[in-house]
Amino acid sequence: MAQYQSTLLDNAVREFSTLPGIGKKTSLRLVLSLLRRDAGEVRRFANSITELRDNIRFCKICHNISDTEVCSICGNIRRNKHLICVVENIQDVLSIENTGQYTGLYHVLGGVISPMDGVGPKDIEIDSLVERIQPEEIEEVILALPTTSEGDTTNYYIYRRLSEMNIRITQIARGVAIGNELEYTDEITLGRSIVNRIEFKV
């Protein structure tokens, strides 16, 4: 007997509960909310994801998601072509774009080096990063990877690969978040923010 008196409902709930962070109850709630809509709306919902999956393309330069061969950031003549910011994934590009503080280019690795998960340097877009860098064109590579041991390993690996080239290699500042109280900041972050202190400017 189907758990929900309907094999079709069972199937849909099981599929939705495979999504990250979506449990059985939330899955049921999402499915039932879709069930209340027009069949056409539900079809549009379903098509949006299959069409994305079937037609997805990645920028051949930076590996960001794109509908075209070269993404709209790499293809934008007003971006600073001398700066490359290295990030783990597509969400990170969006997060940095949302700050409005960065006008350079990106390079999306598609992961970080993680021997535990069997992810080596060849499994992510590091070779394409190295090939992409023409020292006469690129002035600086900004490392914006997660502050985990995997992120640190990847930072170090990239640093080693690029150290022969005559370019500046930087990493984004780590420290106490704006608006946060010192007492609620974890010790590692706080410690690093003291070690990496900068000149006070007004």
Contact set with a second copy (CB under 8 A): 1-9, 11-12, 14-16, 18-22, 25-26, 28-35, 37, 39, 42-57, 59, 64-67, 71-73, 89-91, 93-94, 183-184
Question: Whole-number minimum distance, CB 141 to a second copy, in Å?
Answer: 21
Closer to a second copy by CB, 15 or 196: give it.
15
Question: Whole-number minimum distance, CB 171 to a second copy, in Å?
Answer: 24
Question: Whole-number minimum distance, CB 148 to a second copy, in Å?
Answer: 18
Q: Which of 110, 123, 112 is nearest to 146 (CA)?
A: 112
Q: How far apart are CA 174 and CA 145, in angstroms?
A: 11
Structure tokens at 193: 């923010």
Q: How far apart are CA 25 and CA 123, in angstroms?
A: 36
Closer to a second copy by CB, 29 or 132: give it.
29
Question: Whole-number minimum distance, CB 162 to a second copy, in Å?
Answer: 25
Q: How far apart are CA 79 and CA 105, in angstroms?
A: 7
Q: How many angstroms separate the most distant Cα atoms in the chain? A: 71
Which residue type, as a one-letter code, is found at position 176?
Answer: V
